[in-house]
Amino acid sequence: MADSSQKTLRIREFPIDENPGHTYLNHEKGILSWLFTVDHKRIGLLYLGSVILFFFVGGMLALLLRTELLTPAQSIVDADTYNQIFTLHGAIMIFLFIIPSIPAALGNFFLPMMIGAKDVAFPRLNLASWWIYIFGALFALYSIITGAVDTGWTFYTPYSTQTGTSVVSMTLAVFILGFSSILTGLNFIVTLHKLRSPGLSWSKMPLFLWSLYATAVIQILATPILAITVLLLAMERILGIGIFDPSLGGDPVLFQHFFWFYSHPAVYIMIVPAFGIISELISTYSRKTIFGYWAIALSSLAIAFIGFLVWGHHMFVSGQSELSSVVFSFLTFFVGVPTGIKIFNWVATMYKGSIDLKTPMLYALAFLFLFTIGGLTGIMIGALSINVHLHDTYYIVAHFHYVMMGGTVIAMLGGLHHWWPKMTGKMYNEFWGRITCGVIFLSFNMTFLPQFIMGSQGMPRRYFNYVDQFQGLHQFSTIGSYLLGVGFVMMAVYLLWSLFKGPKAPSNPWKARSLEWMTSSPPTHHNFEYTPVILHGPYDHHKPMKEFRMGVAEESESPDVIEIDKDPA
């Protein structure tokens, strides 16, 4: 029905070059071509390298903490050093690792590819984001060297305005890192709105992109609050203006409101992208259409929205009014509903699927196990009367590690393995991949399950010394953490081996349907040598593969050209 408001697109199938001589990896050479690249794929890898480095540093700090906790009294470091180590572990893992991890590394690489674009909307801004991130990281490093920070990653006042450590430079680092996060979010939103290929309607967008979209909205709306907060903190410390410090006429609880107004939505900056990856993995390895596409897509946005209204659940015993606590508790439970819907949808997707337990799928299943525990224990601590007992105990520590590590990190590892062939052009060893996933899964539970018990029994968090009754559980947890370390070393070994010695990856080893698999592995500099045209959804496993490799046909007549009508929009 071609009337005047429609135009005709001529499309044909573009076969994939399985052995590309020219890829984004050899497009340009030399260290400067990497550090000043505007290619989203290279920037994605720069981020990936950076976050892995900081994950390694934060992980080593965690092992130091666990080693110190082998005995109830001092074992290897003194109290002040311990306090600095747990602060750095938290700050590095949150600000330098987990916030940029999935969106800035995997998101940067795959967001443009999944919509068939050559790059993000603002490639130079993208590069600037990475440099701002590195600059912020250097500032953080500077404050560690010039006297460390011992406030905990939460910087609670008035302790943070009174302690003798380099709080100002550390908060400045957080301030700078925030800009990197905002700019990445901005870039993603514009890219998703403006650069989608012909035919890629919102309803055909991979769910990973919906989750990045929801994340980007939170990054843009919430991160400025963090900037304001740390700026006020710096003003108080440098200029002596009383905002939070009661001895200057301020209110310390105000800081907590400011801080959590950012940091609670930030929790969803960390976990929502993980949801996106899980949707991709479960559909791909079950080779089945996703169940409840819109329910999953919209629940990400619902979580992003409700996430702004629940910050006070960190403050039930802080001295905020009882009424606020009640309201925040009520709203908090409603984050649980869309989260539960996602889990049920993923399980339903596997129904009557063709499930292949490849390494990424094992990570997806590990995610379902660990994140469900994280979510259910979240219901526990959302309940007011129980929260009073469990607040600031190891129960909280265990809960957020189940969500952040059992959720985000496990999903990221799943995504890393899923997209590894596409990013590097190499296959990894499937056997070692599965074994390592098992080691990480078991040792993770060994590390953090005992912490739920300790916390219920009353063991407070951030304790250098502890009462003797907790020693057995602490030691069990420490042994688990060592095994977890071994798991990550195993992964590093086989992934590095794959990088240098691994067999060449085909363009689409998993028979996935989304667009990033419809080009060579590794992709060429411009991702696609043609303008992709999308006929089917990213999870339409029942449609023939050739219909996913469509692109705008050149003028020349070719026998396989199809003509379709397309709305001018």
Q: Identify residues 332-371 at the interface with another protein (CB under 8 A).
A: 333-334, 336-337, 340-341, 343-344, 347-348, 350-357, 365, 368-369
Subset of residues 157 to 216 that bind another protein, contact rule: CB under 8 A = 158-159, 162-164
Using CB under 8 A, which of 83, 184, 191, 424 touches another protein? 83
The count of residues interacting with another protein (CB under 8 A) is: 90
Q: For Cα atoms 251, 304, 292, give the angle at the middle one, nearest 5 degrees.
A: 160
Q: What does the block give as tokens for 147?
A: 């006297």
Task: Read off the amino acid at residue 77.
Answer: V
The correct pick among 4, 5, 203, 385 for binding another protein (CB under 8 A) is: 385
Q: Does residue 463 bind another protein (CB under 8 A)?
A: yes
Options 16-24, 26-34, 154-162, 402-410: segment touching another protein (CB under 8 A): 154-162
Q: Is 418 a binder of another protein (CB under 8 A)?
A: no
Nearer to another protein, 252 or 487 (CB): 252
Task: Give the C-alpha distances (Å, rounded to integers) separating 113 from 63, 413, 524.
Answer: 37, 20, 11
Closest CB 272 distance from another protein, rounded Å: 19
Amino acid residing at 465: N
User: What type of residue is 116?
Assistant: G
Give the strand order in the sheet containing 550-552: 550-552, 7-13, 562-566
Report whether 310 contacts 328 (CB < 8 A).
Answer: yes
Sequence-distant (≥ 6) Cβ neighbours of residue 244 within 8 angstroms? 157, 158, 161, 232, 233, 236, 250, 251, 252, 254, 255
68: its two tokens: 């110190």
* Structural tokens at position 440: 């990480």
CB of residue 428 to another protein, shortest distance in Å: 20
Q: 526: helix, coil or strand? A: coil
Nearer to another protein, 136 or 407 (CB): 407
Complex with another protein: residue 157 or 184, whichever CB lies closer: 157
Map residues 108-147 to x or -, x wherever contact with another protein holds by CB under 8 A.
----------------------------------------
Q: Binding to another protein by residue 311, rule CB under 8 A?
A: no
Between CA 479 and CA 463 the distance in angstroms is: 19
Q: By the 8 A CB rule, do 526 and 24 touch?
A: no
Smaller CB separation from another protein, 356 or 554 = 356
190, 301, 427, 453: which one binds another protein (CB under 8 A): 453
Closest approach, Cβ 370 to another protein, in A, equals 11
Q: Which two tokens stand for residue 53?
A: 């480095």
The yes or no reply on residue 150 touching another protein (CB under 8 A) is yes
Q: Is 295 in the site for another protein (CB under 8 A)?
A: yes
Asked if 293 interacts with another protein (CB under 8 A), we say yes
- 242 lies in the binding site for another protein (CB under 8 A): no
CB of 497 to another protein, least distance (A): 26
Question: Looking at beta carbons only, is 99 or 365 nearer to another protein?
Answer: 365
Minimal distance, residue 28 CB to another protein, in Å: 38
Separation CA 68–CA 49 (nearest Å): 29
Q: Checking DSSP bridges between strand 7-13 and strand 562-566, what pairing results, if any?
A: antiparallel
Cβ count within 10 A of residue 567 = 10
Q: Smaller CB distance to another protein: residue 222 or 361?
A: 361
Binding to another protein, residues 474-533 (CB under 8 A): 511
Interface with another protein, residue 373, by CB under 8 A: yes
DSSP state of 563: E
Residue 471 binds to another protein (criterion: CB under 8 A) = no
Nearer to another protein, 24 or 291 (CB): 291
Under the criterion CB under 8 A, does residue 246 sit at the interface with another protein? yes
Pick between residue 25 and residue 290 the one whose CB is nearest to another protein.
290
Residue 546 binds another protein, judged by CB under 8 A:
no
Among 99, 97, 89, smallest CA distance to 265 is for 99
Closest contact distance (angstroms) between CB of 511 and another protein is: 8
Contact status, residue 288 vs residue 330, Cβ threshold 8 Å: no
Chain position carrying tokens 């509903």:
337
- Binding region for another protein (CB under 8 A) out of 32-40, 140-148, 310-318, 430-438: 310-318
Q: Residue 132: which residues within 8 A CB-CB, separation 6 or more?
A: 176, 177, 179, 180, 183
CB 210 within 8 A of CB 247: no
